[in-house]
Structure 1
Amino acid sequence: MRLDFSLVAVAVLSLSTVVQPSAQETRPGGADAGIERRIDALVERMTLEEKLGQMSQGGWAPDFDLKEAESGIIGSLTNADDPAAIAKIQAAARRSRLGIPILMTHNVIHGFRTLFPVPIGMAASFDPALVRETARWAGRESAAVGLHWTLAPMVDISRDPRWGRVVEGAGEDVFLGSMMAAAQVTGLREGGIIASLKHYVGYGAAEAGRDYNSTSIPPVELRDIYLPPFHAGIAAGGATIMAAFNALNGTPATANRWTLDQVLKREWGFDGFVISDWDSIIELMKHGVAGSRAEAAEKALMAGVDVDMAGELFRDELPALVKAGRVPMARIDDAVRRVLRVKFRLGLFDRPDPDPAAADAQLLTPAAREAARRAARETIVLLRNDGDLLPLAPKAKRIALVGGAAADPSDHMGSWGAAARQGDTVTTLAALQARASAGGYALTYARGCADDCTSTEGFDEAVQRASEADLVIAVLGEPWYMTAEGTSRTRLGLPNRQQELLERLVATGKPVVLVVFAGRPMALTWAAEHVPAILYAWAPGTEGGNGIADLLFGDASPSARLPMTMPRAVGQIPVYYDHLPTGRPATDDRYSSRYIDEENAPLYPFGYGLSYTRFAYSDVAITAPKPDREGVLEVAVTVANTGARAGKDVVQLYVRDLVASRSRPIRQLKAFDKVALAPGESRRVTLRVPIDRLGFHAEEGGYQVEPGRFEVYLGGDSRAPMVGGFELPTGVDYPGAPPVRLD
């Protein structure tokens, strides 16, 4: 399956259209009259206790008391993954006085039973159609066991790899992040569940990369960079929003009336519901903006939070606040209506619950495994390949595989594994052993050290195996538990003693292929100078070992690209490609914006990735947009595969606004297309950018496209050369766009 996502407006609009399953379901901003009448009738019958129940999410455990469901005091439940248990809970809820079904949810971050590469890896595919397909599989498996909702995707933009949760997002770029958000939401809906876009908003800009830390983001930057992926996800059918943990410009996100009520609900017309993050309402007391549990509940509710995750503050504190007149019943009813609206739109009141006995047959199917294997191949970035060391076949006869991660299923699975099982996972060791047994080469394996590599006890054996081999494959990187919530790092090299192990393997003089497992960009400066071939595998999922083997032996050519800039040193962070030019851009002059002890340039730039073949661009033609709402910038180029292998190129289009009322980034990604070409094949590719994607926000919040000169850059990464430009003439009333509109 392949869709053309080069045109933002068409792409997001098409995604929004696909997720409308029937005339009875509505998109945010519009209300179906029949559903609203049913909501009116139900709310009129509800007691305050039942209303607050709909506004409360509980956590499932094997000893869950079914009386909570029967009493109607719980609206949603998280972390249940057993289909029989889910069916019992749902049956109990339907026995309640009003028979309101419970929204069942889980952290389905990159798959349910079948795990796909972690989200940062999926973003590296630069393939929204693939992301949509894998999300659809995640939705199907989740729906099969009785889930309705996932607490994903995370659409936070982040430019700081010290933050451990970059593993859950799409990286640093607003355009790529918006496309990935829309694709994930669409795929999940097509699979049968709804999404919760998180973490709203600014969580990815945590100061010093330290999780839960405060963020300071000017309003213009917030609207131009951090808000658009949320808007794109809503346009694609995102039904719920999760408020973030962080304080934004001094106001905790959970109590931020401007972001939750003004922007989200009033400006965007969002009519789904907002849920807090885990315990984030009671944490308003630790933020210092609430002096009691009651005040915390009041502030969160009145700011725009509709559902309390895990904290039970709404159920405990709001009755007295309503009685005292501090919380109006109208606000309670608004929150309840939002929850019920989501449930009615999902059809929960009308459709039968899934048969738990049928669930297993729909999990980890051969088709899902094949999709996971293909996704692994498409998300692994080839960073270095000196002398065309890769692919291996038919070069190496004796291979030494080194590294505890090569045999560790958890490191392949990554964080947030949902219902996946280690025994389902194909490791790199298992995949290479299977190939060795099929003939063609001999494989030896030495652990060297565990995945965390705190001991050198196995180093001598690993070096001995390497010395006896023709080639070494070293599987190193971050253990799975180092890349998730609460995993901020100050050092971004290979953890613990891994660097020492790698240096000893290289010292054998044998060619070394480094396969890196990670949930973020790491500073691999030494490896980039001394290791001839590097594959950045992220956490590649259930079929990760097979995907890695497919690339190592040339069954496929790497085609992924970096969704985040890879730094040379932690001191460069935050490092990202679309920075402002400054008044003294970096030169050899001492008094310019540069470091005196390190290069300004990153180790590897955003959008970078190699292939086993070569691509050439020619015959670039630029058609300037007409100065009206239908105006579209078109850039056409002939892309040729000049190598001897089939491969895929990611053609990237960047634009720079040279002179504007505000300083503009040195370039911004505006379109891309992934093109598959056979050896010697060429194709004409046209990338399109609507004129209202060329603007930006003003201080007062308005969006504007300004006249002037624009430069166009085209190539294989963010260092793409300039290929021309165009002029938007003065004296024209250019069409603006509503804030962060992507449709």
Structure 2
Amino acid sequence: MMSQSPGSAGQSSRVEALLARMTLEEKQAQLVGFWVDQGDEVVAPMSGEKQSSTRYEDASEHGIGHLTRVYGTRPVDPVERAEWLWAEQRRLKDQTRLGIPAIVHEECLTGLAGWKAATFPTPLAWGAAFDPDLVEEVGRAVGSSMRSLGIHQGLAPVLDVIRDPRWGRVDECIAEDPLVVGRVGTAYVRGLQSEGVHATLKHFIGYSASRAGRNHAPVSAGLREIEDVLLPPFEMAIHEGGARSVMNSYVDIDGVPVTADARYLTGILRDRWGFDGVVVSDYFAVDFLRSMHRVAADSADAARLALTAGIDVELPSPDAYVTLAGQVRDGRLPLEILDRAVGRVLAQKEELGLLDADFDTPPTAIDLDPAEHRALARRLAEESIVLLSNDGTLPLAPSTTARIALIGPNADSAEALMGCYSFVNHVLAHHPGTPAGIALPTVVEAVRDEFRHAEITSAIGCDVEGDDRSGIPAAVDAATDADLAIVVVGDRAGLFGRGTVGEGNDVEDLELPGLQRELVEAVVATGTPVILIAMTGRPYVLDWALPARATAAGTMTGLGAVNSADAADAAGSPTASSGRLPVAVLQTFFPGEEGGPALARMLSGRVTPSGRLPVSLPRSAGAQPYSYLHPVLGGLTDVTSADSTPVRPFGFGLSYTTFARADLTAPAAVGHGETFRATVRVRNTGDVAATDVVQLYAHDEVASVTRPVAQLVDFRRVALAPGSEETVEFDVPVDRLAFPGLDGVKRV
């Protein structure tokens, strides 16, 4: 059966001509992917249960829309796999009637998720760096590797704004502030797409706002949370970054699954924002309308709901969308709905050059982890490390470090450096014994290299999880015999119960997993100075390891402390158990392949801390969900005995120097649609060259609806020599202060 419906507005004549020639089966084939390599490994939600029963040869008889994770499902040699891929693309071009090659997509959240490819810090570390320019460079590097392997689309960045740190996927997110998420995420989009690889924004929308931080759980977000917090990063990445693809969220919002909600996938995304790219389903999300949300009676029902709402492509393999041709024939699905999606996919393939692609010669040699990528990974890791407290011990003087004990489950672990969607933790975990294929120096190895004069000993103490205390006495002995103990604790990323953080690894409390707090306190009790390094995928409750901070109810005092970069944080109350505190605490969020050397260089002082918390350091799990973007009554007040004040606020971070800020200026009035300029004079008042992250906040004193006590409207990294100063200028579009009024219309 040949379809005769016209192409949609804005399509090229070539796409319209292709549409006019296509059979219903050929159209249907363009709207599905195929996971050629999918085996028994659980590398996606419910993938073990949802393997397609369709043979690839049958699924691709009329062409295919996507090839799923050709490089990222198993440890395959990149050159050998490229040879297979080039041959397969030639087959699709030469042996199918229309000769349309497939889009190849891969995960690229921390770099290309393929064997032997560079692994960069996790996105939460991007947020901690507050450096969009550097993240754009990383995106460009990742895109260059992907394009050289014939990959066209990357399933990143994640633009979900953190709403509850109990959620397992926090390490995939950038920050709890929509401006930071938008700026940093948009930078990654620009970098990736500058190399000809389409970025995919995910997860649109509301995924991170699920109840109690549970994966896939319902969302009860209101208009203002959606408009003020959840939508802006996506809008920025589309309007300013030109993102070409979007992936849906698994959740339902107020009872309507996003996968079937045209209000978001069409009304906001396309009609309001003008997005003209392609929407792909998160893996198995279309079938979840039937199996999990139960708003569809069968696969055909699910396919019709999703396609009509605006899901153009079903990933990862044919499932529900194999019913589309039949539904058009029997009248259940209008042909124009099918053609709308097919036209978008063909336009994407035309934009990617696939309709004219030549697949003669695959690469015969490729380095996916070159020196320049490792240098970028180290720079981003260094900029992302947050100094939470310091009594002056850091940076370490050689005279005080003749004997160093490296203690803790993450001190000598390469896996601990990387997030859930790194190839090592996401895929190689299913292939024990297979080497990582890249150098992954641990903290122990990096400290040995950095402090070559010192005698280094190491002890695990305890595992990340579990209740085995048998290793703690050896750790205590190692600390007792040392001049300094460095204790490295935190998470192990994995999926669905394999690990302590990552997709499906949601938690009920925010204490360090297992016996790690007990280990730290036992080592601190020896009296040996202790530096605590938290290497995690989410923020944990660390009040027991940090000096107390004074705050005032209902004020901006917490954020004001950020702006003072106050060294007085070194003094405070001791831990209850030992009467002592660690002499310094560093927070790092899965810093990637160069995370070990980055930490070692910071300990020695070759690098000065400049990271800032991208998410508030929580007081307790019971205070969640919490965001610094709260109104007066969302914080500590005298009408409640419950204190949600974070132990350290969003944007906090110390340095090896101090900064003074003065002479803030801003105009008294600004017109609608205009940009206002604010300036502040920043001075490095110490004797160490360092970078300050200057943050500009605004507050609406009297509004028609309740507004946050503080809202970040701009930020800037400023490098300053000792004693030098700079006047920092912020040019802020007044639209950043817009919000939905009583009538629901967003305006300033």
Distance 1:622-1:248 versus aligned 2 partners, 3 A rule: same
Q: Is the 8 A contact 1:189 1:195 kept in 2?
A: yes
Contact in 2 for aligned 1:143/1:193 (Cα 8 Å): yes
State whether residues 705 and 742 of structure 2, in contact with CA within 8 Å, keep that contact through their aligned partners in structure 1.
Answer: no
**Structure 2 match to 1:485:** 503
Aligned-partner Cα distance in 1 for 2:346–2:743: 35
Pairwise CA distance, 1:77: 1.5
Q: 1:457 to 1:51 in 2, by over 3 A?
A: same
Q: Which digits, 9 at most, give the CA deviation of each residue in 1:495-549, with x for residues without a partner?
A: 1111111111001101111111111111112122422211111111111111111
Kindly indicate whether residue 87 of structure 2 is the aligned counterpart of residue 83 of structure 1.
Answer: no
Residues 1:339 and 2:339 are matched in the alignment: no
Distance 1:391 1:453 in 2: 33
> 3-state DSSP class of the match of 1:521?
coil
Does 2:34 correspond to 1:58? yes
Tell me, in whole angstroms, the C-alpha distance in 2 between the residues paired with 1:350 and 1:340: 12
Aligned partner of residue 234 in structure 1, secondary structure = helix
1:435 paired with 2:479, answer: no
Which residue is equivalent to 1:503?
A: 521
Matched, 1:664 2:679: no
Give 2:546's aligned residue.
Answer: 528
Q: In 2, distance between residues paired with 1:218 and 1:468?
A: 57
CA 1:641 to 1:585, structure 2 compared with 1: closer, same or farther past 3 Å?
closer
> Do the aligned residues in 2 keep the contact of 1:128 with 1:183 (CA within 8 Å)?
yes
- Residue 445 of structure 1 is matched in structure 2 by 458
How far residue 83 of structure 1 moved from its aligned partner, in angstroms, is 2.1
How is 1:581-592 mapped onto 2 (pairs within 5 angstroms)?
A: 581-582=632-633, 586-587=636-637, 589=638, 592=639
Q: Which amino acid aligns with 2:62?
A: G
CA RMSD of aligned residues (A): 2.0
C-alpha deviations, 1:309-334, integer Å up to 9, x for none? 13523443222211221211111111
Q: SS at 1:208's partner residue?
A: helix
* Cross-structure match for 1:404: 409
SS in 2 for 1:480: coil
Equivalent residue for 1:276? 281
Contact 2:199 2:245 in 1 (8 A): yes
Structure 1's 187 and 392: CA in aligned 2 closer, same or farther, altered over 3 A? farther
Change (3 A) 1:655 1:384: same
Gaps of 5+ in 2: 1-7, 40-53, 72-80, 429-435, 495-499, 548-580
1:99 aligned partner: 99
Matched with 2:249 is 244
Cα 1:505–1:585, aligned 2, differ >3 Å: closer, same or farther? closer
Contact map agreement 2:303 2:323 (CA 8 A) in 1: yes
The alignment partner of 1:274 has SS state of strand
- Shift of residue 557, structure 1, vs aligned partner: 0.5
Q: Which residue of 1 aligns with 2:18?
A: 42
Query: Match of 1:603?
Result: 647
Aligned to 2:300: 294
Q: Distance in 1 between matches of 2:261 and 2:397?
A: 54
Which stretch shifts more, 688-697 or 323-332?
A: 688-697
Deviations 1:123-177 (A, max 9, x none): 1101100111111111111112211111111101122000011111112111111
2:733 corresponds to which of 662, 665, 690: 690
Q: Using the alignment, how far apart are the partners of 1:66 and 1:308 within structure 2?
A: 15
Unaligned runs of 5+ in 1: 1-30, 706-743
Q: What is the Cα deviation at residue 214 of structure 1?
A: 0.5
Instruction: Evaluate the alpha carbon distance shift between residue 503 and residue 201 of structure 1 in structure 2; reply closer, same or farther with a 3 A threshold.
Output: same
Aligned runs of 1:138-157 on 2, under 5 Å? 138-157=142-161
Tell me, yes or no, if structure 1 residue 213 matches structure 2 residue 212. Answer: no
Distance in 2 between residues matched to 1:193 and 1:483, nearest whole Å: 29
* Structure 2 CA distance for partners of 1:76 and 1:442, relative to 1, 3 Å: same
Q: What are the residue-to-residue correspondences of 1:151-550 with 2, within 5 Å?
A: 151-235=155-239, 236-285=241-290, 286-310=292-316, 312-353=318-359, 355-361=361-367, 363-418=368-423, 421=436, 423-436=438-451, 439-452=452-465, 454-481=467-494, 482-529=500-547, 530-550=581-601
**Preserved CA contact (<8 Å) 1:637 1:684:** yes
Q: Residue 6 of structure 1 aligns with which residue?
A: none
1:70-89 Cα distance to aligned partner (Å, 9 max, x none): 62342001111132332232
**Deviation at residue 192 of structure 1 after TM alignment:** 3.0
Q: Distance in 2 between matches of 1:459 and 1:199?
A: 42
For residue 451 of structure 1, report the CA deviation from its aligned partner.
3.5
Distance in 2 between residues matched to 1:354 and 1:250, nearest whole Å: 50
Pair 502,353 (structure 1): closer, same or farther in 2 beyond 3 Å: farther
Contact 1:585–1:593 under 8 Å retained in 2: no
What's the TM-score, normalizing by structure 1?
0.86
Stretch deviating more after TM superposition (187-196 or 344-353): 344-353
CA contact (8 A) 1:294 1:318 kept: yes
**Counterpart residue identity of residue 111, structure 2:** G
Q: Residue 620 and residue 354 in structure 1: after superposition, are their counterparts in 2 closer, same or farther (change >3 A)?
A: farther
The answer to whether the 8 A contact 1:404-1:449 is kept is: yes
Alpha carbons of structure 1 residues 132 and 353: separation in structure 2 relative to 1, 3 Å? farther
Counterpart of 1:616 in structure 2 is 660
Residue 624 of structure 1 and its aligned partner are, at CA, apart by 3.4
Change in CA separation of 1:690 and 1:316 when aligned onto 2, cut-off 3 Å: closer
Contact 1:69-1:89 within 8 A present in 2 as well: no
Q: Secondary structure at the match of 1:505?
A: helix
- Inter-partner Cα distance in structure 1 for 2:212 and 2:441: 36
Work out whether residues 220 and 699 of structure 1, in 8 Å CA contact, stay in contact via their aligned partners in 2.
no
Shift of the alpha carbon at 1:585? 6.9
Q: Which amino acid counterpart does residue 617 of structure 2 have in structure 1?
A: M
Evaluate the alpha carbon distance shift between residue 147 and residue 45 of structure 1 in structure 2; reply closer, same or farther with a 3 A threshold.
same
Paired positions, count: 663
- Partner Cα distance (1:281, 1:351) in 2: 31
Work out the CA distance in 2 between the residues paired with 1:86 and 1:103. Answer: 11
1:453 deviation in Å? 5.1
In structure 2, relative to structure 1, the CA distance for the partners of 1:178 and 1:516 (3 Å cut) is same
Tell me, yes or no, if the aligned pair for 1:393 and 1:554 is still in contact at 8 Å. no
Helix, strand or coil for the counterpart of 2:546?
helix
CA 62–394 in structure 1, closer or farther in 2 if over 3 Å, else same? same
Alignment TM-score, normalising by the size of structure 2? 0.85
Contact 2:171 2:419 in 1 (8 A): no
The question of whether the paired residues in 2 share the 8 Å contact of 1:145 and 1:354 is answered with no
Change (3 A) 1:533 1:353: farther
CA contact (8 A) 1:110 1:135 kept: no
Cα deviation digits, residues 575-619 of structure 1 (max 9, x gap):
11110123x9744x4xx1441xxx432111000011111101122
Residue 523 of structure 1 aligns to a residue whose secondary structure is coil
Q: Share of identical aligned residues, percent?
A: 38
Structure 1 counterpart SS, 2:229: helix
Give the Cα–Cα distance (whole angstroms) in 2 for the partners of residues 609 and 382 of structure 1. 6
Q: Distance in 2 between matches of 1:260 and 1:322?
A: 22
Residue type at the aligned position of 2:205? V
Q: Could you list the per-position Cα deviations for residues 411-470 of structure 1 after superposition, in whole angstroms to 9, with x for gaps in the alignment?
A: 11222113792652121111112234xx32211111223343542222111111110000
